[in-house]
Structure 1
Amino acid sequence: MLRQALEPGLRPAVLHIAQPVDGGVARVVADLVTDQVAAGLRAAVACPRGGVLTEAVRALGADVHPWRAGPAPGPLLLQEVLQLARLVARVRPHVVHAHGAKAGLAARLALRGRTPTVFQPHTWSFEGVGAITARLARSWERYSARWADRVVCVSEAEQRTGERAGVEARWTVIRNGVDTERFLPAADVRPRGLPPLVADLPESTPLVVCVGRLCRQKGQDVLLAAWEHLLRRLPNACLVLVGDGPDAEVLRANAPASVRFAGAEADATPWYRAADLVVLPSRWEGMALTPLEAMACGRPVVVTDVDGARESLPPGHALFCLTPSQDPYGLATAIGDLLLNAPLRATLGRQGHQYVVSAHDVRHTAGAVADVYRDVVGVRPG
């Protein structure tokens, strides 16, 4: 019904506008395009060159339209908005789906309600910035909500954060999902499969893995501070940081010998499967993908209590797996307690896998997004 209603002729049913083009946002967009192409819809993406998104979308057979845009508002914003307005006028999609604060800013300025628009912040523009910038960003989000037919939040907590900032919108919560056919537990073989970077470790070495962009948001600096406490309990433990980013050099300079850096990985699945425990010490999120991917692979997680974290955990897991944000000692305690309790880790891993399969499969997410598209163009399922 959605395909017939949205796609007469050659117009794309959906134009995704994305900035950034790496990390979780890029994976969400790629997963949506995968599902939409499989359903027979013509989906297209407008995004800056570089990153993993362009290659992933083209591999699916979808169109990619280069959009020259930086990661944050700046002196070139007007040019970016005008460029985007021309692009949308040329492509003439039925629905525009803007991902991320910068894409949401530019898309709403360019369209101002003339095309059905879905805005998905992933994290709000006023989080993680200075006080003056945050105040301006909150004012902008309150004003521009009129130009979004729907604001899609990835967690109820993210919606509440928007509401507390005074944003009045037509809300829909669609929790993040992951590909449970790709992220699977490893076969139960011994010894465990270790990536080359840690192949020299004894089988008994407690291995903690953190997957995420190396930046302030993801909190690896807090994890390194926690690691000093942890080594007093478990001096033979090893931590691997998987990812790259602006803080890489500083983190390397401050890391002890028991911390190893894997760099950016196109597929983090081998790291999830090798880990005894996966940790994400974020300062802010909407709902992070890393804990969902790790649990889909049957691994327990420790996450900080930021937006979306509680909603990403199975019932009862918060007691063991949730710690306050920016609390190195609390983080170290949670990590150490789980590393010293193998039966509990095994139970949490099994329960986490079952929970993600039932509640966070990406196909459920894509179906809910398709329902939003139907609604914003005035189409109901037949």
Structure 2
Amino acid sequence: MPPSSESSDSFPLSVLHLVQPGDGGVARVVTDLVADQLGRGMRVAVACPPGTPLAAAVREHGAVPYDWRAGRQPGPRLVRETRDLARLIRTAAPDLVHAHSAKAGLCGRLAVRGRIPTVYQPHAWSFEAVDGSMAALARRWERYGARWAHRVVCVSEAERLTGERAGVRAVSWSVVRNGVDVARFAAAQDSPDPAGRAPTVVCVGRLCRQKGQDVLLRAWPAVLDQVPGARLVLVGDGPDEQRLRAAAPASVRFTGAVDDTAPWYREADLVVLPSRWEGMALAPLEAMAAGRPVVVTDVDGAREGLPPGHASHCLVPPEDPAALAAAVGRLLGRPEPRHTLGREAREHVLSTFDVRRTGAAIADVYRELTAVRCTQRGEPIFQ
């Protein structure tokens, strides 16, 4: 539960979150922050695309929504999107802006340019999502734009190091690891595998190149060789759905978008996320909170999320179907080790990745930035 606004944590700050992805992991992180910050007595507003799950959640929690019509990718509309966002910022008149992910980080920093305390949280770096000249351009922007963020918040130490290796020189860094609502996901308990039930692998995530479901589908025939009759469930939707459906055998189920992922973790014997890049993915933390072991790729945040000793069982190189199949088949075919890993995973998340820790750490960042108002001379906001 969020802290009471009447407690000693009361913090009457006005914060505006800038968010482009209206669904998926970033939206869940922002939703949890909104709930926590309202409980701390903050005045919270969110600028995000209308008609999205995030916009609905903002209204449900009682925060102030602002419609920001922005696409995921930079393009010809970037100037207009930035000007629109600047107008929203002037209307909201926040004490602090918190820009989440690449697009809002781009438009938000261009719009504010250091005029008010600015937090930028990349949730995985923009240059990891593209190749060649686009990656070089994204790296140059992240290096240049860092001057307009008073704090860059990374969700893992690995994500921070990736930024530094790319030449991003932040004014100041913080690492605030993602957290999950452990009460929501911890309802699933260990139980013997029901007789006759097919071993089930679940992958929760947007169906897109980042999440690597195509790699999992390439690995799946080798998993079936080890565990005949196993089932694979892909939970979520996204731009790659049709292509993935066309490549999937009959033992793969697609659920489409779901309102609640918790029941699917309870359905799983093993949860897999074969991402190509991340900052720190939420799905493995949610699965472990539900007492389910995970197999994940060795991208930013993965090692930091796993319990001690689990990497040798649960971590594989990205884009390696053979290694992925071997790890999945090994765990799926051995119920007792799998249950032991699941119990250890739950205890680890309960003690380390409770979302309340995340909210408190972000509140501390806000306090640090607003205790001393911006002293750097910022450029004017777009008129």
TM-score, structure 1 normalization: 0.93
SS in 1 for 2:28: helix
Aligned twin of 2:113: 112
- Counterpart for residue 223 of structure 2: 230
- Secondary structure of the 1:119 match is strand
The one-letter amino acid paired with 1:179 is D
- 1:279 aligned residue (272, 278, 282): 272
CA distance, structure 1, for counterparts of residue 183 and residue 44 of structure 2: 22
User: 1:343 is matched with which residue?
Assistant: 336
Residue equivalent to 2:56: 55
1:186: how far off?
2.1
| Preserved CA contact (<8 Å) 2:122 2:154 | yes
Q: Is the 8 A contact 1:276 1:299 kept in 2?
A: yes
Instruction: Report deviation, 1:50.
Output: 2.5
Q: Aligned residue for 2:25?
A: 24
Q: What is the distance in 2 between the residues matched to 1:329 and 1:319? A: 16
Q: How does 1:201-220 map to 2 (within 5 A)?
A: 203-220=196-213
Does residue 1:248 correspond to 2:249, yes or no? no
**1:90 equivalent in structure 2:** 91
Q: What CA deviation, in whole Å up to 9, does each residue of 1:139-158 have, x standing for no partner?
A: 11101101001000000010
Distance 1:186 1:156 in 2: 30
**Unaligned residue ranges in structure 1 (runs of 5+):** 8-12, 193-201
Q: How big is each residue's C-alpha offset from its partner over 1:286-330, in whole Å with a ceiling of 9 and x where there is no partner?
A: 000000000000000000000100001000000100000000010
Kept after mapping to 1: 8 A contact 2:49/2:69? yes
Partner of 2:73: 72
Q: Is the 8 A contact 1:206 1:236 kept in 2?
A: yes
Q: Does structure 1 conserve the Cα–Cα contact (< 8 Å) formed by 2:46 and 2:64?
A: yes
| 176-185 vs 280-289, greater mean Cα deviation | 176-185
- Taking a change above 3 Å as real, the CA distance of residues 187 and 358 of structure 1, as seen in their structure-2 partners, is closer
Choose from 308, 321, 328 the match for 2:321. Answer: 328
Name the SS for the 2:169 alignment partner. Answer: coil
- Asked whether the equivalents of residues 46 and 64 of structure 1 are also in contact (C-alpha less than 8 Å), the reply is yes
Letter in 2 for 1:299: R
Which letter does structure 2 place at the counterpart of 1:225? R
Give the equivalent residue in structure 1 for 2:174: 172
| Superposed displacement of residue 203, structure 1 | 3.7
CA shift at 1:39, angstroms? 1.8
Q: What residue number does 1:198 align with?
A: none
Query: Cα deviations across residues 312-360 of structure 1 (Å, max 9, x unaligned)?
Result: 1000000100000000010000001001111111111111111101110
Q: How far is 1:233 from its partner? A: 1.4
Q: 1:135 to 1:340 in 2, by over 3 A?
A: same
CA–CA distance in structure 2, aligned partners of residues 265 and 48 of structure 1: 19
Q: Which moved more, 1:26-35 or 1:260-269?
A: 260-269
The residue type paired with residue 376 of structure 1 is L
Counterpart code for 2:227: L
Shift of the 335–52 alpha-carbon distance from structure 1 to 2, 3 Å rule, reads same
Aligned length: 365
| CA distance in 2: counterparts of 1:184 and 1:65, whole angstroms | 33
- Paired with 1:105 and 1:359, the residues of 2 have a C-alpha distance of 31
Distance of 1:227 and 1:291 partners within structure 2: 19
Distance 1:259 1:228 in 2: 11
Given that 2:190 and 2:343 are in contact with CA atoms closer than 8 Å, whether structure 1 keeps it comes out as no
Q: Name the counterpart of 1:196.
A: none
Give the deviation of 1:104 after TM superposition.
0.3
Instruction: Report the secondary structure of 2:128's partner residue.
Output: coil
The code of the aligned residue for 2:122 comes to P
Match of 1:181 in 2: 183
8 Å CA contact 1:150, 1:171 repeated in 2: yes
Distance 1:276 1:94, change over 3 A: same
Identity %: 64
CA–CA distance in 1 between the matches of 2:56 and 2:177? Answer: 25
CA RMSD of aligned residues (A): 1.5
Whole-Å separation in 1 of the counterparts to 2:51 and 2:291: 32
Question: 5+ unaligned residues in a row in structure 2: which ranges?
Answer: 1-7, 374-383
8 Å Cα contact 1:2/1:374 also seen in 2: no
